[in-house]
């Protein structure tokens, strides 16, 4: 190594300097901080724990993700339907001719009281039946009691019954109604048949 | 230019500097020596991890050699085995040298170094055994962290005492930066340990704390420690006063204030105010960057000050020339360039759209390597090459190998950073065009980077070679020093006995 480097002046030999931080740099910093405050006001959602990117404030979240009350049950039902029912009854609710009956505009779905519907979803359905004048019975509907909660069944039935796109218009189903039926048929291991359902009052 | 790293003429401050160097010998041998071994081990496993990316079946039979363990183990060895101890040793020596005082309690510092290394060993074995904490950059399990804590405590306290006992009472910019680094690491590491491992925070807070820790460690701590070394080289090796010291201190405080908030990606799935603050902090970090540039550029460009008392002017070289006239200085200078580039890129990446563009690609990895290796590791190599021969009191066993290591390190890291940055940008542009090209699956895009990964494996090989050279040179130096001292002790003992025999 160059010996002259090692004999370099130490701190004590250096001349004291009168340099300071340039004012414009401080001004720049203050301006950037001001920009930061404005930016935060626009983008930061004011510390709300509900505002996530890409949304910037609570109003936007509400506008793009409506929720609350019965609407929630309907939205939950949409996702339950998309995961569990869509494979057979199809996304448009029309089913598959001769195999899976339609839910759209079905007289079963639009019954004022949901007792029979809840039983169908809880315990499943088999054997010949008529929906909108067509005969079905080739396939069996599996029971969903083990995999769906009362909340989810109430939601999916609410979604099906109140789906205006499908021409359905019937009252919502509550988780309490599902729970009551679940208790009544707790011992059942066989799917229902259409005649059996017709013998039960829909309100029960 | 003389042979690199040679110490032929070291009458720095007469007797004092030799005594100071001698007082640092034991702790620095422990800290640097073991660090060099960890570094070599780290690059072996880093190479394995790098190869696995393009040849997934390579060494895939044993669980402990799977990517998920090899990569964090390699990274922990680098960060905790090499970077931290090397930075701590350098800090101790610089404090002692600038303060013109011997290391306080060298034995305890060496013991702390041993304890720390025990912690790293336990941590690395823990990672291989599958006990990783699962948080990047702090994977070493809790039991290792306890050892690290006590090791750091011993080293840190006696380093602080060394600073406190300094005979030259002034505190320069170099000391400010190193002191900040000395405090910053225990603060962030213990906070992150407590909030993530000991009493884990729930939900999104976990991710936020982890991002905070990573940025504070790999960007801020790394910047403070590395810049401290850079300033030491400029002020005390190239012998040039800083152009504007108050501005450098201003840069220090503003980086502590702003950079410490960065690191949370713009689109992170956490409440929007957190990434928003992080973005703002990232943009305001331009202030310390400008301040540093305003200190460094004029300082390095200035030619020699005309001697005040009419002494003869030996040369008119700029400070940059002086700095780069030795291999250690050249390593530090390369590190400084990497640092400035990395900071500019980080600033650009603070802009949310850019951040969203490069996220999940190799670009971010390239950037972190630029910071951790091209900046911090090269700077620390420079420090080791400067300090070790002084502390040992003899020249490097193979001075030419020092220069070879410089080239291996610079070319090796360039072969890692440049291809991965290019591959990452390619990857990012493909991700961005997904809307118009739905056939581009994630896997297809990832496969498109394979060539870049292969080139980076070559870079890893070069780094590994360099690390082996460093370890060989350093351990031989230490062995020779120990042998010489033993021989001298034996000689004097024998001489005593002889004089005793002659006397009666």
Residues of B in contact with A44 (CB under 8 A): 272-273, 276-277
Chain A residues near any Cβ of chain B (below 8 Å): 1-12, 14-15, 17, 19-22, 25, 28-29, 32-33, 35-36, 39-40, 43-56
A·B CB contacts under 8 A: 132
Residues of B in contact with A48 (CB under 8 A): 271-273
Candidate ranges B3-7, B111-115, B168-172, B454-458; pick with highest mean pLDDT: B111-115
Q: Does the pLDDT value for residue B144 go beyond 80? A: yes
Residue B56 banded pLDDT, cuts 50, 70, 90: confident
Whole-model pTM above 0.80? no
Largest CA distance in chain B: 101
Q: Does the pLDDT value for residue B280 go beyond 80? A: yes
- Put simply, the answer to whether B1 touches A21 (Cβ < 8 Å) is no
ipTM score for this prediction: 0.74
Instruction: Name beta bridge partners: A129.
Output: A136
- Put simply, the answer to whether B168 touches A11 (Cβ < 8 Å) is yes
Answer whether B176's CB lies under 8 Å from B94's CB. no
User: Residues B478-497: what's their mean pLDDT?
Assistant: 90
- Put simply, the answer to whether A19 touches B9 (Cβ < 8 Å) is no
Residue of B nearest to A29 (CA): B287
Q: How far is Cα A180 from Cα A158, in angstroms, rounded to an integer?
A: 16
Residue B64 banded pLDDT, cuts 50, 70, 90: confident
For chain A, the helix, strand and coil percentages under 3-state DSSP, each to the nearest 5: 50, 5, 45
Q: Does B287 touch chain A (CB under 8 A)?
A: yes
Residues of B in contact with A40 (CB under 8 A): 273, 276-277, 280
- Put simply, the answer to whether B98 touches A11 (Cβ < 8 Å) is yes
Q: How far is B153 from chain A (nearest CA, A)?
A: 29
Q: How far is Cα B366 from Cα B350, in angstroms, rounded to an integer?
A: 16
Task: Report which of A120, A126, A113 is spatially closest to residue A174, judged by C-alpha positions.
Answer: A113
Answer whether B78's CB lies under 8 Å from B46's CB. yes
Contacts from B495-499 at CB under 8 Å and sequence distance 24+? none
Instruction: Name beta bridge partners: A96.
Output: A100
Task: Report which of A145, A142, A151, A149 is spatially closest to residue A75, judged by C-alpha positions.
Answer: A151
- Put simply, the answer to whether B246 touches A55 (Cβ < 8 Å) is no
- Which residues, 6+ apart, have CB-to-CB distance to B45 below 8 Å? B70, B71, B73, B74, B77
Q: Give chain B's mean pLDDT.
A: 87
Q: What is the pLDDT of residues B187-242, one digit of tens each?
A: 999 999 998 888 888 878 888 899 999 999 999 999 999 999 999 999 888 888 88
Q: How far is Cα A111 from Cα B219, in angstroms, rounded to an integer?
A: 65
Q: What is the pLDDT of residues A97-124, one digit of tens each?
A: 888 999 999 999 998 889 999 999 999 9
- Put simply, the answer to whether B271 touches A32 (Cβ < 8 Å) is no
Q: Would you kindly state where each structural domain of chain B is located, as residue ranges? A: 18-169
Q: Rounded to an integer, what is the distance from CA B453 to the centroid of its chain? A: 24
Q: How far is A17 from chain B (nearest CA, A)?
A: 7
Q: Does B200 touch chain A (CB under 8 A)?
A: no
Residues of B in contact with A59 (CB under 8 A): none
Residue B11 banded pLDDT, cuts 50, 70, 90: very low
Instruction: Name beta bridge partners: B14.
Output: B12
């Amino acid at each position: 190594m160059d010996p002259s480097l090692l004999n370099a002046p130490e701190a004590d030999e250096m001349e004291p300097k009168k340099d300071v931080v340039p004012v414009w740099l401080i001004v720049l910093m203050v301006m950037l901080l001001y920009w930061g405050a404005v930016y935060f006001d626009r983008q930061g959602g004011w510390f709300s724990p509900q505002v996530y990117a890409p949304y910037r404030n609570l109003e936007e979240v509400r506008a793009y993700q409506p929720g609350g009350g019965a609407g929630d049950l309907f939205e939950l039902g949409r996702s339950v339907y998309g995961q569990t029912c869509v494979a057979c009854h199809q996304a448009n609710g029309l089913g598959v001719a001769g195999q899976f009956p339609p839910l759209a505009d079905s007289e079963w779905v639009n019954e004022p009281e949901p007792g029979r519907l809840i039983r169908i979803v809880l315990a499943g359905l088999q054997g010949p039946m008529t929906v909108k004048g067509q005969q079905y019975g080739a396939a069996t509907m599996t029971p969903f009691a083990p995999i769906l909660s009362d909340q989810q069944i109430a939601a999916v039935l609410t979604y099906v019954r109140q789906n205006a796109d499908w021409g359905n218009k019937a009252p919502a189903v509550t988780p309490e109604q599902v729970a009551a039926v679940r208790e009544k048929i707790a011992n059942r291991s066989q799917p229902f048949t259409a005649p059996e359902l017709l013998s039960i009052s829909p309100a029960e | 230019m003389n042979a690199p790293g040679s110490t032929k003429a070291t009458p720095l401050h007469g007797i004092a500097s030799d005594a100071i160097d001698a007082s640092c010998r034991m702790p620095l041998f422990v800290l640097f020596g073991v660090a060099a071994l960890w570094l070599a081990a780290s690059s072996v496993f880093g190479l394995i991890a790098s190869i696995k990316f393009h040849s997934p079946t390579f060494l895939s039979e044993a669980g402990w050699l799977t990517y998920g363990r090899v990569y964090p183990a390699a990274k922990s060895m680098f960060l905790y085995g090499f970077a931290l101890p090397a930075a701590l040793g350098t800090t101790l020596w610089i404090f002692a040298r600038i303060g013109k005082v011997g290391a306080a309690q060298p034995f305890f510092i060496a013991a702390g170094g041993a304890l720390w290394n025990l912690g790293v060993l336990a941590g690395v074995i823990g990672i291989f055994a599958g006990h990783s904490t699962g948080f990047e950059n702090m994977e070493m399990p809790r039991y290792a962290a306890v050892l690290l804590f006590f090791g750091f405590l011993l080293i840190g306290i006696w380093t602080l005492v060394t600073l406190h006992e300094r005979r030259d009472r002034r505190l320069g910019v170099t000391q400010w930066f190193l002191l900040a680094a000395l405090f910053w690491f225990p603060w962030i590491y213990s906070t992150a340990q407590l909030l993530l491992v000991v009493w884990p925070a729930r939900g999104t807070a976990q991710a936020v704390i982890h991002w905070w820790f990573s940025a504070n460690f790999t960007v801020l701590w790394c910047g403070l420690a590395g810049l401290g070394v850079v300033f030491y080289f400029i002020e005390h090796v190239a012998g040039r006063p800083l152009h504007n010291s108050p501005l450098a201190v201003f840069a220090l405080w503003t980086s502590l204030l702003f950079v410490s908030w960065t690191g949370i990606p713009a689109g992170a799935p956490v409440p929007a105010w957190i990434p928003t603050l992080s973005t703002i902090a990232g943009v305001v970090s331009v202030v310390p960057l400008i301040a540093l540039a305003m200190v460094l550029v004029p300082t390095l460009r200035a030619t020699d000050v005309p001697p005040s008392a009419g002494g003869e002017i030996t040369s008119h070289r700029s400070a940059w020339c002086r700095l780069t006239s030795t291999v250690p200085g050249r390593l530090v200078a390369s590190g400084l360039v990497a640092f400035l580039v990395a900071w500019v890129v980080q600033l650009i990446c603070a802009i949310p759209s850019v951040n969203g563009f490069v996220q999940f690609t190799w670009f971010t990895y390239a950037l972190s390597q630029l910071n951790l290796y091209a900046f911090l590791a090269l700077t620390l190599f420079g420090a080791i090459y400067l300090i070790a021969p002084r502390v040992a009191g003899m020249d490097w066993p193979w001075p030419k190998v020092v220069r070879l290591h410089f080239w291996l390190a610079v070319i090796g890291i360039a072969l890692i950073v440049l291809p991965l940055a290019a591959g990452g940008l390619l990857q990012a542009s493909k991700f961005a065009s997904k809307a118009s090209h739905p056939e581009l699956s994630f896997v297809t895009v990832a496969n498109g980077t394979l060539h870049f990964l292969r080139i980076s494996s070559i870079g890893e090989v070069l780094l590994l070679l360099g690390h082996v050279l460093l370890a060989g040179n350093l351990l031989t130096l230490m062995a020779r020093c120990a042998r010489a001292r033993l021989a001298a002790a034996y000689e004097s003992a024998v001489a005593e006995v002889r004089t005793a025999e002659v006397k009666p």
